[in-house]
Structure 1
Amino acid sequence: MENITLIEEARNGLVENIHHGLICGVNDQRQSIYNVGNEEQYVYYRSASKPIQAIPVFLSNIISKYNLTDEEAALFTASQRGETYHISALKSLLHKLPVKEEELFCPASYPLNAGPKEEMIRNQESKRRLYHNCAGKHLGFVAMCRELGYPVDGYWEESHPLQQKILSILSELSEVPETKIIKGIDGCGVPVFAIPLKNMAITYLKLACPDLIMDDHMKQAVKNMTRVMNEHSNIVASEDFVCSVLLKDPNIVAKGGAQGVYCFGLKKERMGFALKVLSGSEDVWPNILASILEQIEYSNKETTASLRALKPSVVKNDSGMAVGEIKELFLLSGNVGEIE
């Protein structure tokens, strides 16, 4: 991987942290129009794949059959963080769907967000599979197995027909042959896929611009899925997290993954972007994403300002004193990665 600096974090003029990375932006001709680093570098999607993994649910009639709300449906795409509204929607899903909690392959966990986690520990509540941040995805997986007549046992295995169906969908959206997609195992135990960064950007281009999808059924499924993501953005992550901040903008389809992976698509501009922070940091996502939007002169300044508010360029200590700064050191330019 190329060591192109995206972000420097300095304290009193001395650089403390350097974050190298890769960025690719494509237009609706699938051409790379912005490129920092090697766009052909293979990168694992991690949880940025969740909208793709959720497409089988939206292709089915599960949502109407079990009278799911849009808020509940958004959980299939989510990395939920255990807030009250997440837990309420998860419990409702579990009640409505033909799924038992013990069938979920994701491990028992406490919520990701500190507040609800600490409250559960104080109340001496046990960890539950339902509280895992991937529980919504797994509920969808088990429900789809029942709907399609697939065995529930082993739904997490790469060879399972549901995982093969997801692989086929990813191949179609990303334009990468199935044989060229690298498979691994994600944190929650299901297959995770790696493809070239450029093709990750193409995937999110199509999520933002479903008219580029040839299959009409999938085109409508993607429209329905991205609508619920935008309308229930806090379900996808939670307040003051990057995914929810971006998804509040109805022009954006976005999802991040572990180890510094982030993907988003712009509907009106008909662009798709993918990036990888090589340090694996998620902390600098707001700085990178805000800089990308500023450099392409994105029209919704409120979205950019919301990202800047998540991670200001001024570093402050615990007393609120300015002690350093965060600098974005990359320039977007057509097919060339440059450093200031």
Structure 2
Amino acid sequence: MDSETLIEETRNGLVENVHQGLISGVNDQLQSLYQVGNEEQYVYFRSAAKPIQALPIFLSDVISKYDITDEEAALFTASQRGEKYHIAALESLLKKLPLQEEDLFCAAAYPLNAEPKEEMIGNHGAKRKLYHNCAGKHLGFMALCIDKGYPIQGYWEKDHPLQQQIISILSVLSEVPALKIKVGIDGCGVPVFAIPLKNMAITYLKLACPDLIEDKDIRQAVITMTKVMNAQPNIVASEHFICSVLLRDENIVAKGGAQGVYCFGLKNERKAFALKVLSGSEDVWPNIVASTLEQINYKNKHTITSLRELRPSVVKNDAGLIVGEIKEMFIL
């Protein structure tokens, strides 16, 4: 990949870690405003695709039919991390849907966050499919299958009508023909999509600026879904995680994915960004996104401050002593 250095981590002046990567930023004319590295590089969305994968549910009457709350609906877009409020919302959602936990295709897991995971193991709790960080997405998939009369069996297969609908929606949002969308298998077992990084940014531009979507049904579904995401930021991720920090800003639509992929759109500025950290690190997301917002002179300084607090630009040892720096090296 044609990439550039995004982040350097130093210890006592010596470079210890280097994070190469790619960034693409677009405007509402679908033009490239900012480019670091090759923005035409195909990149897998991973979990940054979850809002797109949730849109068929928001296009249906599943939410109203089963009296699903905003908190529960946010799970359809979430990489939930196993906090008590996540588990409570998942349990509540499961009770409302005509589904069984064992029908979920995702694997049984412990909570993703360390504290609830350690507590569960300490209490001799068992892994559950409901604790998988993609469980909300899978519950949504199965609920939609029931609503549409699709077979639940094989909902994770590329050729299943649900997955074909998702590819069609992604094509509309990304401006990439369906036949040019590359499809792999994600960690939870369902299809995962790769498109050029620029088109990932375009996808999030349309999530932030739904007036750019010609299909009125998809447009309204995006408006409804993004309102839910902004209203329930902790459900989408958790308190001290970048997605929740950004979604607390009602001007931002954001979601990250595994292996260093992050996407966000700015509603008022009518711009959007997609980035890929080639080391696969999620740790440096706050530094990169904060620097990006600073470089475009983003008006909400509280959001930038919150990102800086999430991951300060210093390296500390176990005793809390400052022993190094985290430096943003890229210029948009």
Give the TM-score normalised by structure 1.
0.97
Distance in 1 (CA, whole Å) between partners of 2:32 and 2:99 is 43
Please say if residues 24 and 197 of structure 2, whose CA atoms lie closer than 8 Å, have aligned partners that are also in contact. yes
Amino acid at match of 1:247: L
Distance in 1 (CA, whole Å) between partners of 2:187 and 2:233 is 23
Aligned to 1:204: 204
RMSD: 0.5
Amino acid at match of 1:296: I
Aligned to 2:151: 151
Tell me the number of residue pairs that the alignment of Structure 1 and Structure 2 aligns. 332
Deviations 1:78-106 (A, max 9, x none): 00000000000000000001111011000
Aligned to 2:47: 47
Match of 1:330, SS state, is: coil
Amino acid at match of 1:96: K
- For residue 118 of structure 1, report the CA deviation from its aligned partner: 1.0
Give the TM-score normalised by structure 2.
0.99
- For residue 122 of structure 1, report the CA deviation from its aligned partner: 1.4
Distance in 2 (CA, whole Å) between partners of 1:100 and 1:210 is 35
Residue 58 of structure 1 pairs with residue 55 of structure 2:
no
Please say if residues 184 and 191 of structure 2, whose CA atoms lie closer than 8 Å, have aligned partners that are also in contact. yes
Deviations 1:220-277 (A, max 9, x none): 1100100010010000000110000000000000000000000000000001110000
Distance in 1 (CA, whole Å) between partners of 2:225 and 2:285 is 24
- For residue 5 of structure 1, report the CA deviation from its aligned partner: 0.3
| Unmatched 5+ stretches in structure 2 | none
Please say if residues 205 and 265 of structure 2, whose CA atoms lie closer than 8 Å, have aligned partners that are also in contact. yes
Aligned to 1:20: 20
Match of 2:155, SS state, is: coil
Aligned to 1:188: 188
Identity of matched residues, %: 76
Q: Decide which moves more: 119-128 or 297-306.
A: 119-128
Mapping of residues 262-277 of structure 1, within 5 Å:
262-277=262-277
Aligned to 2:311: 311
Distance in 1 (CA, whole Å) between partners of 2:3 and 2:156 is 34
Distance in 1 (CA, whole Å) between partners of 2:126 and 2:84 is 16
- For residue 217 of structure 1, report the CA deviation from its aligned partner: 1.0
Match of 1:235, SS state, is: helix
| Unmatched 5+ stretches in structure 1 | 333-340
Distance in 1 (CA, whole Å) between partners of 2:94 and 2:139 is 7
Distance in 2 (CA, whole Å) between partners of 1:309 and 1:181 is 37
Please say if residues 253 and 264 of structure 2, whose CA atoms lie closer than 8 Å, have aligned partners that are also in contact. yes
Distance in 2 (CA, whole Å) between partners of 1:151 and 1:3 is 43
- For residue 159 of structure 1, report the CA deviation from its aligned partner: 0.7
Distance in 1 (CA, whole Å) between partners of 2:122 and 2:5 is 43
Distance in 2 (CA, whole Å) between partners of 1:18 and 1:125 is 39
Amino acid at match of 1:114: A
Aligned to 1:255: 255
Match of 1:57, SS state, is: helix
Aligned to 1:237: 237
Match of 1:331, SS state, is: coil
Aligned to 1:324: 324
- For residue 35 of structure 1, report the CA deviation from its aligned partner: 0.5
Distance in 2 (CA, whole Å) between partners of 1:324 and 1:124 is 39
Mapping of residues 129-140 of structure 1, within 5 Å:
129-140=129-140
Aligned to 1:288: 288
Distance in 2 (CA, whole Å) between partners of 1:159 and 1:3 is 34
Deviations 1:15-53 (A, max 9, x none): 000000000000000000000011100000000000000
List structure 1 segments (4+ residues) > 6 angstroms apart after TM superposition: none
Deviations 1:108-140 (A, max 9, x none): 000001111111111111100000000000000
Distance in 1 (CA, whole Å) between partners of 2:98 and 2:212 is 34
Please say if residues 3 and 36 of structure 2, whose CA atoms lie closer than 8 Å, have aligned partners that are also in contact. no
Distance in 2 (CA, whole Å) between partners of 1:117 and 1:275 is 29
Distance in 2 (CA, whole Å) between partners of 1:20 and 1:91 is 40
Match of 1:218, SS state, is: helix
Match of 2:331, SS state, is: strand
Residue 302 of structure 1 pairs with residue 302 of structure 2:
yes
- For residue 3 of structure 1, report the CA deviation from its aligned partner: 3.2
Mapping of residues 68-217 of structure 1, within 5 Å:
68-217=68-217
Distance in 2 (CA, whole Å) between partners of 1:288 and 1:176 is 26
Distance in 2 (CA, whole Å) between partners of 1:126 and 1:199 is 41
Match of 2:7, SS state, is: strand
Please say if residues 315 and 322 of structure 2, whose CA atoms lie closer than 8 Å, have aligned partners that are also in contact. yes
Deviations 1:153-207 (A, max 9, x none): 0000001010000000001100000110100000000000000000000000000
